A = this chain, B = another copy of it.
Amino acid sequence: MRLWDTASTSDSHHEFVDHFTVGDDYQWDNQLLEADVRASKAHALMLLNVGVITDKENKMLQKSLDEILLLHKKGEFLITRNHEDCHTAIEEYLTMKCGDTGKKIHTGRSRNDQVLVAMRIIMKEKMDDFHDQIQELSNSFSQQSKKWSSQIMPGYTHMQKAMPTTVGIWLQAFADGLSDQIPPLKSVRTLIDQNPLGSASGFGIRNFKNNRPLTTRELHFQKTQENPIYCGLSRGLFEYQCIEALTPSILILSRFIADILFFTADGKKYFTLPDFLTTGSSIMPQKKNVDPAEIFRGKVSQFLAIKHEIEIIYNGLPSGYNRDISLIKQSYFRASTLAEELMQMAQIFAENVTPNAEALQESMTEDLFVTEKIYNLVKIGVPFREAYQQVKEEFMTGDL
């Protein structure tokens, strides 16, 4: 039974309504459990500090919370639909193990509080992971760039040959683009590094003296997020910003993958890919399609759609907590996982794409050097626009 039923009468439950409202939310909560336990341990210390529980009670709670973590790691602490979420599951376990002491764990906090602090802990870690992943990705591009720095290739605009460039310059563009995204990522990482625990339902509790700096220290937050209404406002918003901070990197990679597809399209052999990056056909045995790149393209669209989903769920709600906000939890996890996979896939492409020197050399047709001819004229004093017209006429009449 849930702890906060509005009524105990028989018409208080409706199976479909429960399914609709809770959905598979409790499953996502397996991802929150560890962080929730860590926050609960800090919260218990605070309750000890302000005199709600005794030293002995705190020890009981700490021990039981550690047990939950152990059980969870062994896959034996399961959150079921009856629990609705991991927060209830934890309180039930503590009450079972510690009796009345367990019933004290929720003092001074709310479920909303628990989700807020657990998500915050998780997001901080994920942002650190993404920091590293983007850095590595940038490094891979950079290493490949150095390796192929002298390999000439045609530069394209409008999917038409434009001017000569090198594989090194091409790959370094992505390296630079990605490494530039790290400071904005860090600034969001700093933004979210504030402790919301103690905001209760978004208004604090006037006649309960919380020691919020204590949990801030215990949980290694840079500061306490003082205003309780702002704590509530930041639920969903900070999730959005963490996902958002990944978007420019993913957009940059979308253009790298578009290049991969273009440079291997229609039998073009500028680059060779290992077999594990191509797929065959069920009826055309000759086919070697770059399916992972196409799936990449589709998954970027999925990523953008989920990001947008967060925006429109969040947008325009009154400032206090509303239940729709809870749906952002799964949007965050889905978008975050997609981003991880997209970056890992891009890294595999970056590491495995091998220039085909012969094909690239053959592709360096005369039209790529037309602009250089203009500049040869510029060098001898012909005004650019005149040189342009002159070379153009030669090109059009075939004299070039």
- Write the nearest CB–CB distance from A135 to chain B, whole angstroms: 16
Contacts of A157 in B (CB 8 A): 201-202, 281, 287, 289, 320-322
Contacts of A172 in B (CB 8 A): 227, 229-230
CA distance A296 to B17 in the complex (A): 11
CA distance A7 to B288 in the complex (A): 10
Q: Are B314 and A3 in contact (CB under 8 A)?
A: no
Stretch from A63-71, A73-81, A125-133, A253-261 forming part of the interface with B:
A253-261
Q: Given that A155-B320, A201-B157, A266-B268 are known contacts, is A206 also in contact with B372, CB under 8 Å in the complex?
A: yes
Q: Given that A20-B295, A159-B322, A164-B206 are known contacts, is A316 also in contact with B258, CB under 8 Å in the complex?
A: yes
Stretch from A31-39, A214-222, A353-361, A387-395 forming part of the interface with B:
A387-395
Nearest-CB residue, chain B, relative to A168: B227
Q: Describe A's contact surface by its main secondary structure.
A: helix
A278 interfacial contact with B, CB 8 Å? yes
A136 interfacial contact with B, CB 8 Å? no
Nearest-CB residue, chain B, relative to A87: B282
Q: Are A103 and B384 in contact (CB under 8 A)?
A: yes
Q: Given that A155-B203, A315-B254 are known contacts, is A384 also in contact with B107, CB under 8 Å in the complex?
A: yes
Q: Are B6 and A278 in contact (CB under 8 A)?
A: yes
Q: Are B207 and A376 in contact (CB under 8 A)?
A: yes
CA distance A289 to B20 in the complex (A): 15
Q: Are A14 and B384 in contact (CB under 8 A)?
A: no
Q: Are B275 and A7 in contact (CB under 8 A)?
A: yes
Question: Using an 8 Å CB-CB cutoff, how does the interface string of A111-133 with B read, 1 for contact, 0 for none?
Answer: 11000000000000000000000
Q: Are A183 and B191 in contact (CB under 8 A)?
A: yes
Q: Are A300 and B316 in contact (CB under 8 A)?
A: yes
